[in-house]
Amino acid sequence: MIEICRKHDESLKLDRDTLCRQHIKDISFHRGLLDGLDFSYSVLENIDFRSAQMNNAHFVNAVLDNSRLIMVKSRGAFFDGCNFGKSLLLHSDFSGSSFRGADLSECIIKNVVFSKCDLRGADLSCAGLETCILDGIIYDDSTVWNKNLEKDV
């Protein structure tokens, strides 16, 4: 059992083993301290991650559908193979994270820091990528870019 502390809400008690390979729906992790937690292979539907701290967290092959990652700090996290569905990624810091093979095509992104991220094979054809910081990124020929940004990368 782990207790996820949230600054302005009651703590949330979850079994650490139930975070992987689960369907979690309609939960607020607002201001949650989620550093190092493993949500790999889970379906996370309509989750509120606003202002959460998710450094070194694992979301490998997870589905984040209609979730809100707003003002999130998620440095050094793993989103490899993750499908972001129709999620919002706004004003967040993902520096040093890995998005290998991730699908961000349907999400809306604005003012996100992707510095030193691994974006090889990621689908970044989403709206708003031109507002993001992409310094020191790693990408390859299979990375799909937003048509507005393609010429600059």
17-36: per-residue pLDDT in tens?
668 888 888 988 888 889 99
Domain residues for the domain of 84 are 19-153
- Residue predicted with more confidence, 29 or 149: 29
HSE-CB of 47 using CA atoms within 13 angstroms: 23
Give a yes or no: residue 109 inside a domain. yes
The 3-class SS string of the chain reads CEEECECCCCCEEECHHHCCCCEEECCECCCEECCCCECCCCEEECCECCCCECCCCECCCCEEECCEEECCECCCCECCCCECCCCEEECCECCCCECCCCECCCCEEECCECCCCECCCCEECCECHHHCECCCCECCCCCEECCCCCCCC
Q: What is the pLDDT of residue 118?
A: 98
Any domain includes 90: yes
Q: What is the CATH number of the domain that holds 147?
A: 2.160.20.80
3 found inside a domain = no
Q: Is residue 1 part of a domain?
A: no
For a pLDDT cut of 70, what percent of the chain falls above it? 85
What pLDDT, on the 0 to 100 scale, is given for residue 151?
Answer: 43
- Rounded to 5°, angle at Cα 94 from 90 and 99: 105
Number of domains in the chain: 1
Mean pLDDT across the chain, nearest whole number? 90
The answer to the question of residue 4 being in a domain is no
- Is the model's pLDDT at 150 over the cut of 60? no
How does residue 44 score in pLDDT terms, banded at 50, 70 and 90? very high
What is the predicted pLDDT for the residue at 3? 67
